[in-house]
Structures are given as structure tokens and as C-alpha cells.
Amino acid sequence: MNRPSPSVWRIAGCLAATVVFVGGCTSSSADGPTGSSGSGSSSAPSPSVADVSPSPSSQVATSAVPTSSEPALVPTEVSGSSDPASREIADRAAVENAWNNFWIAALGIVRVKDEERVAVLSEVAVDPLRSQILTEARESSARGLDRYGAMTAHPYWGQSIDGKSAAVMGDCQDSSNSGTIDISTGQHKTVGVADNNIRATFVRTDDGRWKVQDIFYLVDVPC
């Protein structure tokens, strides 16, 4: 079975999250992550500082993905708190919920009508990631591809949010039981791997909700 080729659907093969697309991995060096757009970023934490205890794993199967323009999302807003520690815990939980929401919407996006895709993705992502997934979803639809299987997220934190409106979270994703499938033949075209080391960047929008902004693959850094 072929390893995913570079594309945004590689999110499934290289990303680690609650749900993912299966695609090729973008290689990177230990000096910094490579983004979904192919550019490096100095904002992602080094694996050497990712010493915060991981959050509970979560699994998302493709069969659980809604096909309407109103995916079953969980709240990502965070109420204000004067206690920094409580605020940090609440923010991290909200970001992890946003990560799950993103994959619920993204994994099923091929099955959403094209005219509804922007609205679905806008609930969970912002550009540049949103536009990249829209483009790849259209290409996958044209090629008759869909997603199969389930993925397990192993989120971890390497740096604090500190009440900011931007966050970086790591995920050592197990996507070895998911991939892309040819709809007409049922043939599995790609399969993911068990240890995708990912960094995802998030922004808190004006309505207080966290959304995914970009995804980076640390394929040369074990997790």
C-alpha cells in the first residue's frame, strides 16, 4: 500500500489528531516544522520543551463524521477567569475541543455539497488551512476519493497559552488505521502511520472561539 503523497489530505497520514485525512508527509528538519503550505515556522515549540503531560487520547472514525453543513461541534469558547492556572486549563481544553471539531468537519468534507463546504470549514478553521482543505476536497471529489477508518489523537503541550489569542499544540497522532479509499472500487489507496508528530496553530476569533490556522509536520522528529 502506498504512503500518502504530499497534499493537504496528507493531514490524515501526517497529522495527528482526532480525525485526519490520510496523505503524504511533508518532511522537515529538527530545526523547525514544515507547514501545510511548505513554509517553516519559528512559533512551534521544540520537542525538547514538550514536557507537559499529554491529554487523554481521543479517537474519531470516519463513520462518525456528519455530512450536513452543521457538524456536531463541542464548545470552544472560554469564560474569563482571574486565576491564571484555571484559565490555562480551560484554554487548553477549549483548544483540544477545537482540534476535535476541526477533524470532524474536515474528514467528512468530501461528502458535503461544494456550496456548503466554506460554511462548514469556517466553523472550525481559518486561512491558510481552510482554503487549502477546500481545494484538496474538490480535487478528491473529482478523483472519486473518500476517507476510511479511524484515527487516535495524543495531544500534548510544549508551551503555555498564557491568556493569548494564539496557541500551539502538539499531537502524536496514530493514523495507522485510516487512509484514502477509491469510492468506486473500495480499494484503499493510502494508509497512515502510528506516530505522526504534528504541531497545530490556533487563533481565538472575535467571538471567543478557537479555530485551527495551520498544521505542521515534524516527520523527522520522533514522538
pLDDT at residue 144 tops 50: yes
Alpha carbon distance 38, 158 (integer Å): 22
Residue 24 to residue 173: CA distance in whole angstroms = 14
Q: Distance (Å, rounded) from C-alpha 123 to C-alpha 211?
A: 8
Continuous H helices in 57-216: 84-107, 114-122, 129-143
33-54 pLDDT, tens digit each:
334 433 333 333 322 223 334 4
pLDDT tens for each residue of 191-206: 999 999 999 999 999 9
| pTM exceeds 0.75 for this model | no
Give the residue from 74, 63, 143 showing the smallest Cα distance to 107.
63
Type of residue numbered 183? I
Dist. CA 66–CA 52, nearest whole Å: 32
Q: What is the pLDDT of residue 66?
A: 37
